[in-house]
């Protein structure tokens, strides 16, 4: 999944939220399990 934009730790094991899953997020994101920063996740790109 990559590294956190804030603390540069691995995002593996962090909470992932798909686009529109919480009703208001137009982009998928991952909340870093180390620092809590929301990281926008690019989806659909190989």
**Predicted confidence (pLDDT) per residue in 12-28, tens digit:** 999 999 999 988 889 99
Q: What's the confidence (pLDDT) of residue 44?
A: 64
Residue showing tokens 């999944």: 1
The residue extents of the domains of the chain are: 1-46
Please state, for a pLDDT cut of 70, what percent of the chain lies above it.
93
How far apart are the C-alpha atoms of 46 and 14, rounded to whole Å? 21
């Amino acid at each position: 999944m990559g590294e956190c934009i804030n603390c540069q730790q691995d995002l593996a094991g962090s909470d992932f939220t798909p686009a529109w899953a919480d009703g208001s997020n137009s982009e998928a994101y991952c909340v870093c399990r180390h620092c809590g920063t929301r990281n926008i996740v690019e989806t659909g790109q190989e």
